[in-house]
Amino acid sequence: MTDSANKENMQFQTEVNQLLHLMIHSLYSNKEIFLRELISNGSDACDKLRFEAIGNDSLYENDGDLRVEVEFDSQAGTVTVRDNGIGMSRDEVVTNIGTIAKSGTKEFLSKLTGDQQKDSHLIGQFGVGFYSSFIVADKVTLTTRRAGTAASEGVRWESDAQSGYTLEQVDKTTRGTEIVLHLKEEEKLLADGWRLRNIIRQYSDHIPLPVNMRKQEEGKQTEEWETVNKANALWTRSKSDVKEEEYQEFYKHVSHDWEDALAWSHNRVEGKYEYTSLLYLPSKAPFDLFDRDHNHGLKLYVQRVFIMEDKENKLMPRYLRFVRGVLDSNDLPLNVSREILQGNKVIESMKSGSVKKILGLLENMAANEPEKYQKFWKEFGRVLKEGPGEDFSNREEIAKLLRFSSTLDDNTEQKVSLPDYIARMKEGQDKIYYITADTHTAAKNSPHLEVFRKKGIEVLLLSDRVDEWLVQHLMEFDGKSLQSVAKGDLDLSKLETEEDKQEQEKVEAEARNIVEHIKKVLAEKVEDVKVSHRLTSSPSCIVLGEHDMALYMQQLLKQAGHEMPVNKPVLEINPTHPLLKRMEAETDDDRFAEWSSVLLDQAILAEGGQLEDPAGFVHRLNSLMLAMA
């Protein structure tokens, strides 16, 4: 019985009102998708009940026949979707329905373009599919009760998407959730048995539990229920029996994405352990891909019974956290718990096998569908770059899949693979050269590249934040070591002629005095001063130790509150530069010291570092320019 005295009127968040306005004004190009979303939510609720009931059978409340039911009333203009899954408590209703996707809502709204077709694809990335109900309904009533609670603890949520929502406690004898859509006048044609059946078969045929509707005889609904969908687990079927459209619809169900998957791998593994995997690569990255609390992953089933969603990367490593799909094992006990998954030999075997399937899928795509692979790389490349540091056993396979920009064309698009680079290496070149920087522009304009450009030696341009982490763990590939052009000593002797070497020795000998003079002036700021092998047109650059972190990364960590060790850089100078010639002629020691400090500060700025005394740098530069006027 409903107690109207306990009905509360509540307001949506501002962002939720914006989102509902968007929904009501026909964001989706295909309005029928609302039914897929509600059925998928009901199926998920049944999966969650199955898992919780493994340790507490009483949650079934003497009704173990899990299902989703769809009804309609053409006279009242309503469509009802109900499930007998886990249900929700009052607090869960407020959290899951009243606030919509929590922090994701603002992010979602910030990404809207105003193009309905494009914006509709964002919905699945932000977990707001329930609100697709308001595309076709001007009022939605949701009644729910969590399994295991008393009948009096039912909750009713109702909203017209205009004036907030009401919340009240009601009696509900059955567990689960019932959603009644009060259709808009222009959408009442949806309250039709034939049309609803077609929508279910088109979008929800793959749902691995029954979606039931009442039988119709002579145009009227009877009391008898019938299953409309195939109601079998799609992944258990033979690949040859599954159409591409069915794979795509199942992907949308399991991932709650609105776009098609980019590719998938469907395999039945037999041997020591038996399991089935259906693994998908999304075509778009979710908004929370780099959120450490990101909580989407593969779904684990045991003999077609849902056990858990992998939120802790036990079924797939973190660098492949974008993969969606299911793993279904025949060798795990039904009462397997999260606690014993870690270190479980069956799980480890499934995880290892699944990683190889995904890497194989990507390798095949890169080789045979390069444009498609570039689409994948644009969305997920930065995540894949985490792989060499996380997965030692597959490091070489992952490295083959990596893509970079390079000095070959200075293009921002990352298209160069390590095998491509090696195939173009100069005769005598035994290293893969790279430079890391905060931006692509900073990387391609670094003074460290000057000698490489002069000699036609390709250098990889690394400007993703993850790149500094990558090169710390990927130190070689195919027998060739990776070498930063901005760190450690540079040895290009194998690529130089005898004439080049003699010229360099002559320059070093002639510059001995100015090197010693600058070294004396900057003794407290630099480790050493040397004649550069790197520079051809810039006056100076700084060189870090081989294992030092790039200056821009040091700066980022400092800003985040991390203590960084103080490492003095090496200052390299180009004695042939007019500025150094000007310094050689300087007789005023104070003025020479100012020139030396400017050389160092310029080199630090060129590497993305931050000056300890920016005002002092500006003052010195102004003073020197005025003196030259």
Instruction: Quote the tokens at residue 458.
Output: 């390709």
DSSP lists the bridge partners of residue 282 as: 261
DSSP lists the bridge partners of residue 81 as: 70, 179
- pLDDT score recorded for residue 13: 59
By the 10 Å C-beta count (0-12 exposed, 13-18 middle, 19+ buried), 11 is classed as exposed
Instruction: Quote the tokens at residue 377.
Output: 């790389």
- pLDDT score recorded for residue 125: 44
Q: What would the pLDDT profile of 583-596 be if each residue is shown by its tens digit?
A: 998 889 999 999 99
Are the beta carbons of 191 and 25 closer than 8 angstroms? no
Kindly indicate the confidence band of residue 497, based on its pLDDT and cuts at 50, 70 and 90: confident
Q: What is the mean pLDDT of residues 597-622?
A: 89
Q: What is the mean pLDDT of residues 484-512?
A: 85
Q: Which residue has the tokens 């993969």?
A: 323
Q: What would the pLDDT profile of 296-334 be if each residue is shown by its tens digit?
A: 689 888 887 777 788 777 889 999 999 999 999 988 876
Mapping DSSP onto H, E and C, the string for 498-542 reads: HHHHHHHHHHHHHCHHHHHHHHHHCCCCCCEEEECCCCCCCCEEE
Kindly indicate the confidence band of residue 546, based on its pLDDT and cuts at 50, 70 and 90: confident
**What is the rounded average pLDDT for all residues in the chain?**
86
Kindly indicate the confidence band of residue 103, based on its pLDDT and cuts at 50, 70 and 90: very low
Q: Which residue has the tokens 């931050």?
A: 610
Instruction: Quote the tokens at residue 365.
Output: 């795509």
Kindly indicate the confidence band of residue 512, based on its pLDDT and cuts at 50, 70 and 90: very high
- pLDDT score recorded for residue 109: 55
Listed in sequence order, the residues at least 6 apart from 503 whose beta carbon sits closer than 8 Å to its beta carbon are: none
Q: What would the pLDDT profile of 20-64 be if each residue is shown by its tens digit?
A: 666 555 455 568 878 988 998 899 899 899 888 888 999 999 999
Residue that wins the pLDDT comparison between 27 and 130: 130
- pLDDT score recorded for residue 70: 97
- pLDDT score recorded for residue 1: 45
- pLDDT score recorded for residue 127: 47
Choice among 45-59, 224-238, 421-435, 483-497 with the minimum mean pLDDT: 483-497
Kindly indicate the confidence band of residue 65, based on its pLDDT and cuts at 50, 70 and 90: very high
- pLDDT score recorded for residue 19: 63
Q: What is the mean pLDDT of residues 472-480?
A: 94
- pLDDT score recorded for residue 33: 79
- pLDDT score recorded for residue 488: 83
Choice among 104-108, 382-386, 498-502 with the minimum mean pLDDT: 104-108
Q: What would the pLDDT profile of 168-203 be if each residue is shown by its tens digit?
A: 999 999 999 999 999 999 999 999 999 999 999 988
Q: What is the DSSP string of 340-383?
A: HHTT-HHHHHHHHHHHHHHHHHHHHHHHH-HHHHHHHHHHHHHH
Buried b (16+ CB within 10 A) or exposed e, 141-167: bbbbbbbbeeeebbbbbbbbbeebbeb
Q: What would the pLDDT profile of 324-374 be if each residue is shown by its tens digit?
A: 999 999 888 766 665 566 668 888 999 999 999 999 999 999 999 999 999
Q: What is the mean pLDDT of residues 393-417?
A: 95
Q: Which residue has the tokens 């050689």?
A: 584
Percent of the chain with pLDDT over 90: 56
- How far apart CA 510 and CA 163 sit, in angstroms, is 83
- Longest CA–CA span in the chain (Å) reads 109
Check whether 113 has a pLDDT greater than 60. no
Check whether 68 has a pLDDT greater than 60. yes
- How far apart CA 45 and CA 30 sit, in angstroms, is 25
- How far apart CA 411 and CA 443 sit, in angstroms, is 11
- pLDDT score recorded for residue 357: 97
Check whether 493 has a pLDDT greater than 80. no
Kindly indicate the confidence band of residue 104, based on its pLDDT and cuts at 50, 70 and 90: very low
Choice among 11-15, 229-233, 296-300 with the minimum mean pLDDT: 11-15
